[in-house]
Amino acid sequence: MTVAYKRLGDVATFVRGITFKPTDVVPAGTPSSVWCMRTKNVQGQVDLSDVWSVDSRFVKRSDQYLEEGDVLISSANSWNLVGKCCWIPRLGKASSFGGFVTALRGDVSQVNRRYLYRWFSSAHIQETARSFSRQTTNIANLDLKRCADLSVPLPPLAEQKRIAAVLDQVDALRAKRREAIALLDDLAQSTFLDMFGDPLTNPKGWPVLPFGEVCETRLGKMLDAKRETGRNSRPYLRNANVQWMRIDTTDLLEMDFGGKDKITYGLAPGDLMICEGGEPGRAAIWRGEVEDCYFQKALHRARPNVELARAEYLVWMLRILSLRGGLSDHVSTATISHLTGAKLKVLPIFLPPLGLQQEFASRLDAVEEMGERHELHLATLDELFESVQQRAFAGQLWDHEAA
């Protein structure tokens, strides 16, 4: 199918938001007020959990009211978020938007608005639009003039609608898979609480010990970023590599570690890696994913006494303590939040019988196996979605029908 291209600014309009002061925000439901969207509301879907309201007098033009089918864009934000966008559904209340966001409004006689959203939110266009941004000290501003010059592939309106529907269907499958993964996390949490009780209240009266008596703990090595790597160059973990329940080894850095460091800062399967800063207490189990790996000062290594605790039990203990605010008293916040070695060692944790911890670990294995299957399926759907996008916007989605 031959696809025509038109300049974005010829088929859609960028509408700038309203201006007001933070003191102009009024309580929700105030007479003559309107909703006002801001960058916080621009998520994968428009987030209505925390919407400001302002008096309607700040809306100077009728086009500054959001319409169903608008693409709301974060036009002034940090570099990694500028250009991020979401689809505006029927909101049910008069709504406008602030000066740090912009509405992209398609001309329905030329472009299907859902198609326009799918095109602008595609990875390639997002990356291109972001590259147009003007960077200041703390913020990046989307260059709307350059964005307006982007070329939009425009098959006939009926085909645009058909393409948008296909992309919506694949994206809905991705959303369901992500929801299933989130539910598995909830299942693991529920299993922990059912078996052991709330870590904050210890309703089952399990014996309590400080973390330092259950695990041998050590803070990682302070690294000199200026030091050249040489024959002793080894991969190491940093804070960014440790996520809840998993360790990401896709972008490991390397630095020199001497012979004595093998014992002091080396990792062994079963070690618990705990973030010192960033999100203090965030933890995952090292499974030996990379040979001869070390860890830097941003992380604690905790080696459980196998006669007292299983690593799987401890990581979920930390997870639920974190979710319920149980780590807050052990996090220092003088400058930035961090969990010192001393604070970690005295963290009280209750210890159910080892056999019960083992039963939890076995149940967790089954949950994680299901999670891995869902993750693989999601990765396949992500690849399919990307492929369909590329083919659709190149006019190749229906080539098989012409064969």
What amino acid is encoded at 10 in this protein?
A: D
Residue 229 has pLDDT above 70, yes or no: no
What six digits make up the tokens of 47?
A: 């987030």
Can you give the pTM of this predicted structure?
A: 0.69
Q: What pLDDT, in 10s, does the model give residues 173-222?
A: 999 998 888 888 889 999 999 999 999 999 999 999 999 999 999 999 88
pLDDT at residue 107 in the model: 97
What is the tens place of the pLDDT at every residue in 337-369? 788 899 999 999 999 999 999 999 999 888 888
What DSSP element (H or E) covers 265? Answer: helix 261-265
CB atoms within 10 A of CB 39: 20
Say if residues 252 and 236 touch (Cβ distance below 8 Å). Answer: yes
3-state SS assignment for residue 75? coil
pLDDT at 79: 86
Our separate counts of H helices and E strands in the chain read: 11, 23
How far is residue 281's CA from residue 290's CA, in Å, rounded to a whole number? Answer: 23
Give phi and psi for 388, each to the nearest 5: -65, -40
Q: What is the arrangement of strands in the sheet containing 101-106, beginning at the earlier edge strand?
A: 12-16, 101-106, 71-74, 85-87
In this predicted structure, which of 52-56, 358-362, 370-374 has the lowest mean pLDDT?
370-374
Of all residues in the chain, the percent with pLDDT exceeding 70 is 94
pLDDT at 263 over 80: yes
Secondary element (H or E) of residue 289: none
Q: In sequence order, what are the beta bridge partners of 6?
A: 152
- 116-132 pLDDT, tens per residue? 999 999 999 999 999 99
